[in-house]
Structure 1
Amino acid sequence: MTQTLRARIRAGDLLIGTFVKTPAPHVVEILGHAGLDFAVIDQEHAPIDLSQMDMMAMAGRAVGLPLLSRRWGKERDWIAPLLDLGLTGVMVPHVMNKPDAEAVCDAIRFARRKRGLSPSPRAGNYGGMSIPDYREASDAAGIAVVQIEDASALDQLDQIASIPDVDMMFIGPADLSQSMSVAFPSPDLDAAIERIIEAGKRNGMAVGLFVGDAAQVPVWHARGVTVFVCGSDQAMLRKAAIQMMDQGQSAAAQKEIVRT
Structure 2
Amino acid sequence: MNSTNPAPIGIFVKTGSPQLIEVLGTTALDFVVLDAEHAPFDRGMLDLMVLGGRAARLPVFIRIPVIDPAVILSCLDMGATGLLVPHVDTAEQAREVVAMARYRGGRRGYSGGPRSAGYASLSMAQAVHLGDQAQIVCQIESAQAVGQARAIAEVPGVAGLFVGRADLALSLGLDDPRAPEVLQATRATLQAATRAGKLAGMHVGGTPEREQFIDEGANWFVVSSDQSLLRQAVQAIAGAPKQR
Q: Given the two structures, how large is their TM-score scaled by the length of structure 1?
A: 0.87
Deviations 1:48-95 (A, max 9, x none): 000001111111000111001112224332011111111111101000
Work out whether residues 15 and 227 of structure 1, in 8 Å CA contact, stay in contact via their aligned partners in 2. Answer: yes
1:257 corresponding residue in structure 2: none
- Alignment partner of 2:16 out of 10, 23, 31: 23
For residue 102 of structure 1, give the secondary structure of its aligned residue in structure 2. Answer: helix
1:138 matched to 2:131? The reply is yes
Q: In 1, Cα distance between the equivalents of 2:149 and 2:106?
A: 26
1:37 corresponding residue in structure 2: 30
Deviations 1:106-162 (A, max 9, x none): 1212112410011211111100000001111221x3110100011111111121111
Counterparts in 2 of 1:1-260, with a 5 A limit?
A: 13-139=6-132, 141-182=133-174, 183-246=176-239
Instruction: Give the number of the structure whose alpha-carbon radius of gyration is greater.
Output: 1
Q: Structure 2: any 5+ residue segments left out of the alignment?
A: none
| Letter paired with 2:39 | A
| Letter paired with 2:145 | A
Q: Structure 1: any 5+ residue segments left out of the alignment?
A: 1-7, 248-260
For residue 69 of structure 2, give the secondary structure of its aligned residue in structure 1. Answer: coil
Work out whether residues 76 and 103 of structure 1, in 8 Å CA contact, stay in contact via their aligned partners in 2. Answer: no
Q: 1:149 to 1:222 in 2, by over 3 A?
A: same
| Letter paired with 2:125 | P
Q: In 2, Cα distance between the equivalents of 1:57 and 1:68?
A: 8
Q: In 2, Cα distance between the equivalents of 1:154 and 1:146?
A: 12
Work out whether residues 67 and 97 of structure 2, in 8 Å CA contact, stay in contact via their aligned partners in 1. Answer: no
Where is the helix percentage greater, Structure 1 or Structure 2? 1
| Letter paired with 1:92 | V
| Letter paired with 1:52 | M
For residue 99 of structure 1, give the secondary structure of its aligned residue in structure 2. Answer: helix
Q: In 1, Cα distance between the equivalents of 2:62 and 2:106?
A: 22
Q: 1:118 to 1:74 in 2, by over 3 A?
A: closer
Moved over 4 A (4+): none
| Letter paired with 1:98 | A
Work out whether residues 98 and 136 of structure 2, in 8 Å CA contact, stay in contact via their aligned partners in 1. Answer: yes
| Letter paired with 2:167 | D
For residue 190 of structure 1, give the secondary structure of its aligned residue in structure 2. Answer: helix
Q: Which moved more, 1:39-48 or 1:201-210?
A: 201-210
Q: 1:177 to 1:113 in 2, by over 3 A?
A: closer
Q: In 2, Cα distance between the equivalents of 1:243 and 1:159?
A: 44
- Residue identity over aligned pairs, in percent, reads 35
Q: In 2, Cα distance between the equivalents of 1:162 and 1:148?
A: 14
Query: What is the alpha-carbon root mean square deviation over aligned residues?
Result: 1.7
**Number of corresponding residues:** 237
